[in-house]
Amino acid sequence: MEITKTNLKDCFVISFEVYKDKRGYFQETYHKKKYDCLLPKFKFVQDNLSFSKKNVIRGIHFQIKKPQGKLVRVVRGKVFDVAVDLRPNSKTFGEYFSIILSESNQYQIWIPPGFGHGFLSLENKTILEYKCTNFYDPKDEKCIIWNDKKINIKWPLKNKPVISHKDQKGISFSNLNLINLK
């Protein structure tokens, strides 16, 4: 397991060795003892799977009262993945980190509780999988608009993105009431 720090405090990229041969490849993607050492305060309680067509943007989602830490990886295809630090007392508050996660590079990203998360699918039939440290609560979920001018994410778009009706109603970073974020 190799850990690479990002520009955001507590957010990092994880890579495991991939064993390839003429049959294909094998990779360990989760090992409880290793993650218990790496993230001792967190326990994963829910796994999610997202299937997306090319040019779909999902997010930037977060929960206020029940923030979720997320361990994100791509099983098939490729995404431009984004984490936004929404912790008011953090030195990197309001900053983002982006990375290409793909089936070929096999990277994972740890996105701590108190962060927003979103991604752009760069290929058809992309499957993104992530483990969460808290249960999803639709009443607690919020969304920052994907093209927020203050955060200014440099999405690698070539065409108009496909965005859900719910995500199109995302609010601006400047209008967030972040008092209750942990």
User: How deeply is 100 buried, as exposed, middle or buried, from its count of CB atoms within 10 A (0-12, 13-18, 19+)?
Assistant: middle
Tokens 């609010």 — which residue?
171
As annotated, the active-site residues are 61, 130
Judge contact between 116 and 61, C-beta under 8 A. yes
User: How deeply is 94 buried, as exposed, middle or buried, from its count of CB atoms within 10 A (0-12, 13-18, 19+)?
Assistant: middle
What is the Cα–Cα distance from 35 to 49, expressed in whole angstroms?
20
Judge contact between 16 and 106, C-beta under 8 A. yes
